[in-house]
């Protein structure tokens, strides 16, 4: 395997050797974040006030004010990202993380962003969705030369419009985005009361193809990814979105994968209040429980968290709530293994029959290749969740403090409010007149027995 | 007269000396057996002599029967072949033939007594002639030496034949064990393919697979069934070849062999000067040397006797009537028409033929020594490569495949396909190991017998 040190050293050397000391001294600090945990919102220490957002499993980039200009410093570099506990990935990102830190500014701010390239190849930053001078658009070849390894370029423009944006390279885009180069951008309205919400979560959708046992994404994969992530994290590595009951909650999602994602919230209805283009007029908003986010799009959804509980929030493409899986593994459901299993076991010691009743792996503790997440995983208060990938939980609780994002644990259901086994009389099933009586065993054949694996 | 008596006296002395070369009783087998035992590590007889009677046959059967109680090791196979290979037994007996020739050569031709009685006209004539082959007397020591060398040569050639049978047996044993092992693996592969085919049928039955998917899996199984038959055929042929060398039949032909070849030794033999060793040690080279010496002697003899074809000396006593006359008679062929030059030329040509044959044998032996040693080292490296690289990597692949199966990243069919590939790698290793042990037997043969440094690594 590649360890963090050897993976990072090659590119870091290029950077260190080529950035001159004088250049570094005049640059604003480039803070680095090494933790994959969700960081507390960054209240603006200076400049215009705004309501900061919370980046799911991410953080916001601090800035310095210089002559009324907000100066940020992004360092494009190789990083090691923990996709979920038990699995790390060799990615490219910014300031120690992939995705990079969220940049928050206020409508009308003049923004200056220094971009230092510590990658082994040239890069650029495209400020996706922004209205800015053409030469600041960050498209290599078209509007600027690429930033060579070891060099620092500066971008400067006024954040004209409030809204939800992203940033990503527009240089060797396919490789650099497949390696995790991206970040979130929020331009807050000049008036903090405008569009104000109590909790404002942001994250990007991204996908990687990392072979079990390896660490670096296969950048040439086009559609058959095996890790579907929120901010380069896969469930159970994604933090819950903790909200106070009756909070107005906004979730802003940007899609930088190669396919669309219908994100779906349980227990509430929401409205799509914003796109990349700006805010949706209230009269044009549709009530939704699922909204499709196409490739390269941003959506802001809003809802009142009026139902306490632990509510699923996930992409509704069911393969996208799975981790690494064999997409060409044949279906084994209903296949009788008796006799054959013993023969196979003679040849392959350690073989167990799997999949003959379905694919659920709950309770299964079997050794896996290194650096791999189980296909579906995550434990809840009632057992295995059988989920992975683009899945998390919105935790609605009463009586939280305004800035309290701490995981409150599992929801304590009021007595009698949880589905439970029926132990009373079963009413007879209605049958068509003259139909033969049903065989009791038929239903049993497809019922899972809870213990999916068999030791032969 | 005096000279005649002296001559006759000399003749009787020579005759006496000639009579000293007597039959050894074992036809020179003892000497051969000891060379063969020294070179192969296995005695060539049960009682130190060739079996001649029922008792000997029973003793032999008992020894062989005991060996066959256990799975037959390579050393035991060689032992059984040396004791029981009938072709080799026949060769042993040729020693007896050569020894008889030697003894015959050392004996002076019997004197011939001519007695003639005639009567006519009232007179009785009695004519007595005692004749010796004088040339026989003169040439007896030389002929004896020649026959002596021929006998020595025969002993070497017979010993060499024993070594050949030993080497053939060792090779055949390696082949037979390896073929059986490969056939076994083919069966394992077939079993995995069968499991796969069965499962594919059930996949089809459950509605999860198309007829095409099922046919693919089953076609593979059908192929493996054919492979099993192929390997079994080869195994039977290899075993029967060994059986023939062992000279076994009937119940004894049901002998058992070990399940697998012996492991690869920790290190290959380092042999310096393989060519010299081959030239020094190989019995066929030694026999060729003797042949050359022999033809040289023959040439000398032919030169000596080129003018004399027959020299007969006779003591004559004639009783003719009342008076008896004594005298002697000498017959000498006058080389008027045949000066013996053709015979000498023939002997010279034969000698030169022999010299060149010896040179050729030496060239061949040196080349075989080089080739067999190079092959031996390469075979060792290849077998070690299989053992240390191919098999561990295959094992690693299998372990990793199982982990991927556990994670539902791969299907059971891939698991089975991998098991089949692993078996193929194991077959490759068996083949490489077989080649190694055969290369070692070849090297031994090219070096003229068991390698002195080879103790403990025999298969």
pLDDT in tens, B110-147: 777 777 777 777 777 777 777 767 666 667 777 777 77
At what angle are helices B274-281 and B283-304 packed, to 10 degrees? 50
pLDDT band of A446, cuts 50, 70, 90: very low
Lowest-confidence pick of A67-76, A445-454, B90-99, B446-455: A445-454
Q: Given this model, what pLDDT does residue B333 score?
A: 61
Q: Is 0.90 exceeded by the ipTM?
A: no
For residue A131, pLDDT over 90 is answered with yes
Share of chain B above pLDDT 90, in %: 35
Mean per-residue pLDDT, B341-362:
85
Mutate to test the interface with A, among B201, B214, B409, B422 (most CBs of A within 10 A): B409
pLDDT grade for B285, boundaries at 50, 70 and 90: confident
- C-alpha to C-alpha distances, B396 to A369, B192, B380, B383, B389, nearest whole angstrom: 12, 19, 23, 19, 11
Give the per-residue pLDDT at B154: 83
pLDDT tens digits, one per residue of A35-86:
999 999 999 999 999 999 999 999 999 999 999 999 999 999 999 999 999 9
- Record: contact A336-B194, CB cut-off 8 A: no
Contacts of A377 in chain B (CB under 8 A): none
Residue A100 reports pLDDT greater than 80: yes
What pLDDT is recorded for position A447?
A: 42
**Among partner residues B207, B407, B412, which is closest to A324 by beta-carbon distance?**
B407
- Predicted confidence (pLDDT) at residue B223 exceeds the cutoff of 90: yes
CA distance A12 to A27: 18
- Strand pairing report for B123-133 and B112-120: antiparallel
Mean pLDDT of B49-57: 78
Alpha carbon of residue B196 to chain centroid: 49
Q: Is the pLDDT of residue A11 over 50?
A: no
Give the span between the Cα atoms of A360 and A364, in whole angstroms: 9
The pLDDT tens digits of the residues spanning A146-155 come to 999 999 999 9
Given this model, what pLDDT does residue A315 score?
A: 98
Name residue B311's beta-bridge partners: B332
Flag whether residue A372 sits within 8 Å of chain B, measured between CB atoms: yes
A368 pLDDT above the threshold of 80: yes
Q: How far is CA B391 from CA A368, B227, B250, B386, B387, in A?
A: 22, 22, 40, 6, 6
- State how far the Cα of B368 lies from the Cα of B389, in Å rounded to an integer: 30
Residue B192 has pLDDT above 90, yes or no: no
Q: Could you identify the residue written with the tokens 């000698």?
A: B351
pLDDT at B1 exceeding the cut of 60:
no
Where are the alpha helices (H) located in B68-133, listed in sequence order? Answer: 74-84, 86-106
Q: How confident is the model at residue B4 (pLDDT cuts 50, 70, 90)?
A: very low
Contact at CB, A212 and B194, closer than 8 angstroms: no
Q: Is the pLDDT at B372 greater than 50, yes or no?
A: yes
* Residue A318 Cα distances to A210, A228, A269, A322, B458, angstroms: 19, 11, 21, 7, 63
Best A211, A225, A347 member to test B by mutation, with max B CBs in 10 Å, is: A347
**Which B positions 398-437 lie with beta carbon below 8 A of chain A?**
398, 400, 402-413, 415-416, 419
Q: What is the pLDDT of residue A142?
A: 97
pTM here is: 0.77
pLDDT category at B202 given cuts 50, 70, 90 is very high
* pLDDT (0 to 100) of residue A147: 98
- Cα distances (angstroms) measured from residue B267 to each of B263, B377, B384: 11, 10, 9
Whether A335 has a pLDDT exceeding 70, the answer reads: yes
Tell me how far apart the alpha carbons of residues A290 and A274 are, in angstroms, rounded to a whole number: 15
**Residue A243: what are its φ and ψ, rounded to 5°?**
-135, 155
Query: What Cα–Cα distance (Å) separates residue A454 from each residue in A39, B226, B388?
Result: 43, 34, 35
Gap between the Cα atoms of B392 and B388, Å rounded? 6
**What is the distance between the alpha carbons of residues B316 and B213, in angstroms, rounded to a whole number?**
109
Among residues B227, B226, B224, B184, the alpha carbon closest in space to that of B416 is found at B224
pLDDT given at position B416: 87
pLDDT in tens, B9-45: 444 444 444 444 566 667 677 777 777 777 777 777 7
From chain B residues 164-193, the ones with a CB under 8 A of any chain A CB are 188, 191-192
Partner-chain contact A331 B408, CB within 8 Å: no
**Given the DSSP bridges, would you call strands A248-255 and A199-208 parallel, antiparallel or unpaired?**
parallel
Closest CA to A336 of A454, A220, A423, A222: A454
Q: State the pLDDT confidence band at A211, using cuts at 50, 70 and 90.
A: very high
Distance, CA of A313 to CA of B28 (rounded, Å): 99
The verdict on A355 touching B (C-beta cutoff 8 Å) is: yes
Q: Is the pLDDT of residue A288 over 80?
A: yes
């Amino acid at each position: 395997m590649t360890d963090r040190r050897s993976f990072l050293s090659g590119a870091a050397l290029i950077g260190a050797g080529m950035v001159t000391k004088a250049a570094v001294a005049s640059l604003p600090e480039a803070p680095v974040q090494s933790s994959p945990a969700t960081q507390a919102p960054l209240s603006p220490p200076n400049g215009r006030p705004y309501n900061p957002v919370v980046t799911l499993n991410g953080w916001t980039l601090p800035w310095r004010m210089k002559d009324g200009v907000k100066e940020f410093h992004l360092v494009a570099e190789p990083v090691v990202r923990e996709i979920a506990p038990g699995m790390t990935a060799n990615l490219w990102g910014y300031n120690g993380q992939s995705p990079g830190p969220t940049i928050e500014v206020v409508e009308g701010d003049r923004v200056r962003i220094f971009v230092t390239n510590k990658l082994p190849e040239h890069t650029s930053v495209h400020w996706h969705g922004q209205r800015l001078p053409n030469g600041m658009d960050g498209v290599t070849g078209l509007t600027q030369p690429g930033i060579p390894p070891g060099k620092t370029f500066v971008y400067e423009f006024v954040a004209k419009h409030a809204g939800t944006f992203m940033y990503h390279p527009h240089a060797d885009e396919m490789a650099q985005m497949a390696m995790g180069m991206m970040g979130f951008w929020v331009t807050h309205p000049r008036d903090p009361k405008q569009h104000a919400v109590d909790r404002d979560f942001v994250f990007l959708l991204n996908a990687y193809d990392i072979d079990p046992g390896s660490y670096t994404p296969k950048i040439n994969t086009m559609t058959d990814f095996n890790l579907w992530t929120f901010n380069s994290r896969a469930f159970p590595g994604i933090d819950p979105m903790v909200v106070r009951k009756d909070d107005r909650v906004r979730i802003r999602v940007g899609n930088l994968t190669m396919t669309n994602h219908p994100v779906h919230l349980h227990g509430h209805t929401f409205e799509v209040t914003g796109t990349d283009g700006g805010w949706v007029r209230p009269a044009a908003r549709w009530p939704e429980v699922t909204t499709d986010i196409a490739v390269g799009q941003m959506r802001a959804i809003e809802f009142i968290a009026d139902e306490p509980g632990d509510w699923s929030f996930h992409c509704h493409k069911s393969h996208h709530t799975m981790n690494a899986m064999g997409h060409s593994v044949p279906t084994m459901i209903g296949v009788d293994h008796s006799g054959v299993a013993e023969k196979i076991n003679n040849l392959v010691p350690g073989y167990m029959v799997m999949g003959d009743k379905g694919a659920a792996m709950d309770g299964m503790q079997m050794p896996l290749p290194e650096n791999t997440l189980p296909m579906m995983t995550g434990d809840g208060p009632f057992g295995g969740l059988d989920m992975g990938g683009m899945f998390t939980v919105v935790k609605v609780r009463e009586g939280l403090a305004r800035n309290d994002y701490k995981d409150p644990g599992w929801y304590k259901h009021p007595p009698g409010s949880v589905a439970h086994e029926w132990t009373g009389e079963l009413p007879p099933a209605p049958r068509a007149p003259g139909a033969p009586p049903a065989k009791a065993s038929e239903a049993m054949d497809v019922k899972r027995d809870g213990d999916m694996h068999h030791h032969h | 007269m005096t000279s005649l008596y002296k001559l006759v006296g000399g003749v009787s002395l020579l005759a006496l000396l000639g009579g000293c070369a007597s039959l050894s009783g074992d036809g020179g087998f003892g000497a051969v057996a000891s060379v063969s035992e020294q070179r192969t590590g296995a005695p060539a007889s049960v009682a130190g002599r060739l079996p001649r009677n029922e008792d000997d046959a029973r003793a032999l059967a008992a020894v062989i029967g005991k060996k066959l109680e256990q799975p037959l090791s390579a050393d035991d196979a060689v032992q059984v072949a040396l004791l029981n290979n009938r072709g080799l037994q026949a060769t042993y007996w040729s020693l007896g033939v050569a020894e008889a020739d030697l003894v015959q050569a050392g004996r002076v031709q019997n004197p011939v007594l001519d007695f003639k009685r005639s009567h006519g006209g009232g007179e009785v004539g009695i004519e007595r002639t005692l004749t010796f082959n004088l040339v026989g007397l003169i040439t007896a020591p030389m002929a004896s030496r020649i026959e002596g060398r021929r006998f020595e040569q025969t002993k070497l050639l017979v010993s060499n034949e024993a070594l050949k049978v030993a080497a053939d047996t060792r090779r055949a044993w390696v082949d037979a064990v390896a073929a059986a092992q490969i056939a076994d693996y083919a069966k394992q592969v077939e079993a995995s393919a069968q499991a796969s085919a069965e499962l594919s049928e059930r996949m089809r039955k459950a509605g999860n697979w198309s007829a095409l998917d099922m046919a693919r899996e089953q076609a593979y199984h059908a192929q493996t069934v054919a492979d099993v038959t192929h390997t079994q055929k080869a195994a039977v042929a290899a075993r029967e070849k060994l059986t023939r060398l062992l000279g076994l039949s009937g119940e004894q032909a049901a002998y058992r062999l070990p399940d697998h070849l012996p492991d690869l030794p920790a290190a290959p033999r380092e042999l310096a000067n393989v060519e010299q060793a081959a030239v020094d040690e190989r019995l066929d080279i030694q026999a060729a040397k003797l042949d050359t010496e022999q033809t040289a002697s023959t040439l000398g003899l032919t030169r000596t006797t080129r003018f004399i074809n027959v020299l007969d000396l006779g003591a004559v006593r004639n009783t003719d009537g009342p008076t008896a006359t004594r005298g002697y008679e000498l017959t000498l062929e006058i080389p008027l028409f045949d000066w013996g030059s053709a015979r000498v030329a023939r002997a010279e040509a034969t000698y030169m033929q022999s010299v060149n044959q010896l040179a050729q044998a030496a060239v061949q032996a040196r080349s075989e020594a080089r080739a067999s040693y190079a092959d031996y080292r390469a075979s060792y490296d290849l077998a070690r490569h299989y053992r240390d690289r191919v098999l561990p990597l295959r094992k690693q692949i299998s372990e990793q495949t199982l982990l991927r199966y556990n994670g539902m990243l791969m299907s059971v069919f891939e698991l089975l396909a991998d098991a089949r590939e692993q078996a193929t790698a194991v077959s490759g290793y068996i083949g490489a190991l077989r080649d190694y042990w055969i290369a070692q037997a070849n090297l031994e043969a090219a070096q003229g017998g068991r390698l002195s440094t080879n103790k403990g690594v025999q298969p």
